[in-house]
């Protein structure tokens, strides 16, 4: 049996276990690394990322105000996220208001493409959640690029794409000096995808480029490809974008600057 056939057999017969980590209150799907590696080898050999050409500008929209929806740690989906995730896994539906919150004291928009975040260290478990309404920004193949600078050592910086809401999205995440790709589906975190060491110096500006082309997702930083992943399940073929900043503790402010943000259509 060839290596590809063996890998395909592992993929078809592979199983994954759902873990509910009560210590961290996190629901996750732990896909075994060997199974995922076998899948990646198969797709790297039989598929390649489609070539693209540049299409129209999807964001920012000319002569329009920033229309990002803002939330913080008081959002009901954040407050009840553990309970909601377990309910979703049992096939129950949930209904929570998505009305925007006023974060004008924490998030400042200089223009449609530039913002700064400044959340003081006054309590633990602080969030800034910014998203474009996926009902209004239903994008498929696109390039999302921006300049980003961490201005403090808060824990997590996350960029959601093909975003379909709190419980369904793809994401590139920077945490503990590493960049990684993960998927959140129906409230479950799918992990053991590609992770790469990457230190972000405080105060230094980096140019991030995220591309979603078909089921291929690429993260490029300052002209270098850091992560390239393929979603075998093909989840969320359309969606918008989200920016999420989080810190669990109460001693580090959440401070960051994002500028020159642009989303461009990619034509296959």
Going residue by residue through the chain, which has 268 residues, state the pLDDT in tens, using 9 for 90 and above: 444 344 444 334 443 333 333 333 344 454 455 666 677 667 666 677 889 999 999 999 877 777 899 999 999 989 888 888 888 888 888 888 778 999 999 999 999 999 999 999 999 999 999 999 988 999 999 999 999 999 999 999 999 999 999 999 999 999 999 999 999 998 888 877 889 999 999 999 999 999 999 999 999 999 999 999 988 889 999 999 999 999 999 999 999 999 999 999 999 9
Q: Would you give the DSSP letter of residue 139? A: B
The span from the CA of 209 to the CA of 48, in Å, is 19
CB 166 within 8 A of CB 77: yes
Residue 107: the pLDDT is 98
Pick left, alpha or beta for residue 36 (phi over 0 → left; psi -120 to 50 → alpha; otherwise beta): alpha
Residue 131 CA to chain centroid, in angstroms?
Answer: 11
- Tell me, what's the pLDDT at 165? 92
Closest by CA position to 153, among listed 117, 201, 85 = 201
Query: What per-residue confidence (pLDDT) applies to 37?
Result: 64
DSSP character for 6? H
**Strand 188-190 versus strand 26-30 pairing type:** parallel
The Cβ-side half-sphere exposure at 242, using a 13 Å CA radius, reads 29
Domains annotated on the chain, with CATH = 1-47 (no CATH), 54-92+101-267 (2.60.120.560)
- Give pLDDT tens digits for 151-174: 999 999 999 999 999 999 999 999
3-state helix, strand, coil in the chain (%, to 5): 15, 45, 40
Strand positions, DSSP E, the chain: 17-21, 26-30, 53-59, 69-72, 107-111, 114-119, 126-131, 142-150, 156-163, 169-175, 178-185, 188-190, 195-197, 205-213, 216-221, 224-230, 240-247, 254-267
The total of other beta-carbon atoms located within 10 Å of residue 225's CB is: 12
Question: What angle do the packed helices 33-46 and 3-13 form, to 10 degrees?
Answer: 130
The burial of 253, by beta-carbon neighbours within 10 Å (0-12 exposed, 13-18 middle, 19 or more buried), is given as: middle
């Amino acid at each position: 049996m060839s290596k590809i056939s063996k890998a395909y057999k592992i993929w078809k017969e592979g199983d994954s276990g759902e873990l509910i980590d009560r210590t961290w209150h996190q629901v996750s799907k732990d896909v075994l690394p060997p199974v995922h590696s076998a899948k990646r080898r198969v797709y790297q050999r039989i598929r390649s990322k489609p070539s693209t050409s540049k299409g129209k500008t999807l964001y920012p929209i000319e002569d329009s105000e920033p229309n990002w929806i803002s939330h913080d740690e008081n959002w009901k989906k954040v407050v009840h996220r553990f309970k909601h995730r377990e309910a979703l896994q049992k096939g129950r539906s949930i209904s929570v208001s998505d009305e925007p919150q006023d974060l004008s004291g924490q998030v400042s928009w200089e223009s449609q493409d530039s913002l700064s975040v400044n959340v003081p260290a006054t309590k633990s478990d602080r969030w800034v959640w910014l998203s474009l309404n996926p009902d209004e920004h239903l994008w498929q193949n696109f390039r999302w690029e921006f300049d980003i600078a961490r201005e403090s050592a808060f824990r997590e910086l996350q960029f959601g794409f093909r975003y379909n809401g709190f419980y369904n999205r793809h994401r590139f995440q920077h945490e503990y000096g590493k960049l990684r790709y993960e998927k959140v589906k129906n409230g479950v975190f799918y992990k053991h995808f590609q992770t790469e060491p990457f230190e972000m110096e405080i105060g230094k500006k980096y140019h991030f480029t995220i591309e979603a082309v078909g089921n291929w997702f690429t993260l490029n930083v300052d002209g270098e490809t850091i992560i390239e992943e393929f979603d075998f399940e093909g989840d969320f073929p359309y969606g918008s974008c989200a920016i999420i900043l989080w810190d669990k503790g109460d001693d580090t402010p959440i401070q960051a600057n994002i500028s020159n943000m642009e989303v461009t259509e990619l034509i296959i």
